[in-house]
Amino acid sequence: MAKEEKKYKRKKKKVGSYQYGSVVFSIFLALVVIGLLGMLMLFVNGLSTAVKDNFEISIFLNKNVTKNQRTRIENELTASPYLLNKEGQEAVRFKPKEDAAAEFIEETGEDFAEFLGDNPFRDALIINVSSDYQENAKLDSISDRIEAISGVFEVAYSPSILEKIEKNGTRLSLYLLVLAVVLLLIVVLLINNTIKLALFSQRFLIRSMQLVGATSGFIRKPFLSRSFMHGALAGVIAAGVLFAALQFFYDQIEGLENLQQEIYIFALLGALVVLGSLIALFSTSRAMNKYLKLSLDELY
């Protein structure tokens, strides 16, 4: 008698079972991959922005420029619309020729004073240019305007770096976007098949509810609500794992956190929760429509 009760309970459990664990795990893995790709896109854009924000123009001054003339040039540059004002950093930075000479000796190990007898470097002013003006034509125009200022000897910058950043950054972002779209389609198909298999064990329960007169909306409601919660649960777990991994990499790689604002990271993690819920809801709705339309012969 006891054995019969155990068999009955086991059988009853199987009839009402639903592979929630496999569904949540499948959505979790898919969201982790999508989240990693999204973070990669954010950090690529962050790196491009950081490089642009650190783009400098060196303005070399005439050797006979006085302190008052230098102050006048600094004030004129400070009032320029193309200047990038960075928090915690002076808009126009003065670099004396002695510092330039010391840097050269440190990098090369050669003391030019031994054979030249004089410091060939010039005093310079360093400015950062706003990203809105970081185009070759605009930079050339800015360079011409600065060189026309009395007391300025020469303006130097490296436009080739900007060209490479713009070209490679745009190309990489496009590749990542295409990859994200393809990956999203694959994820939807995989999760859709996983949920179909999970609901397969519930086809007789769905049929029984139809036979007792339950409407399609009444039958769908518990399945859709549970699917929505499981998708959200998978999204929360994926967001938690990615956030923990991100904190680990922040500790391991110095300055990595400076490449991205936290608001964008949290927006991405929140989007994963919403995406997981919507994908699960969409896939469950499609699977339910299929099983609600099956005839009795097609159930076997």
pLDDT in tens, 260-275: 778 889 999 999 999 8
φ, ψ dihedrals at 66, nearest 5°? -85, 170
C-alpha span between 287 and 300 (Å, rounded)? 17
3 state SS of 29? helix
CB 156 within 8 A of CB 148: no
Whole-number pLDDT of residue 3: 46
* Six token digits for residue 71: 């102050």
pLDDT for 44 equals 80
**pLDDT at residue 266, as a whole number:** 92
Lookup: tokens for 250: 């922040």
Name the band, by pLDDT with cuts 50, 70 and 90, for residue 17.
Answer: very low
- The structure tokens listed for 96 are 């004396």
Q: What's the pLDDT at 2?
A: 43
Rounded mean pLDDT of the chain?
A: 77
Indicate the SS3 state at residue 48. helix
pLDDT at 60: 92
Question: Of residues 204 and 56, which shows the higher confidence score?
Answer: 56
* Mean predicted confidence (pLDDT) in 134-160: 85
- Percent of the chain at pLDDT > 90 equals 10
Least confident range from 127-136, 234-243, 253-262: namely 253-262
Q: Specify the CATH class of 56-156 in words.
A: alpha beta
Does 11 have pLDDT greater than 70?
no
**Is 19's pLDDT higher than 90?**
no
Domain ranges of the chain: 2-50+164-299, 56-156
How many of the other CB atoms lie within 10 Å of CB of 102? 12
Question: Distance between CA 235 and CA 31 in Å, rounded?
Answer: 7
- The whole-number average pLDDT for the span 130-143 is 84
More confident residue, 172 or 88: 172
Quote the distance between the C-alpha of residue 251 and its chain's center. 18
Within 10 A of 89 (CB to CB), how many other CB atoms are there? Answer: 9
Query: Who wins on pLDDT, 202 or 229?
Result: 229
Comparing 295 with 255, which gets the higher pLDDT? 255
For residue 239, the model assigns a pLDDT of 94
pLDDT value at residue 204 = 61
The reported pLDDT for the residue numbered 216 is 62
Tell me the C-alpha distance between 285 and 300, whole Å.
21
Does pTM top 0.75 for this prediction? no
Mean pLDDT value across residues 267-294: 81
At residue 38, the pLDDT reads 86
Mean pLDDT of 173-199: 74
Share of the chain above pLDDT 70, in %: 74
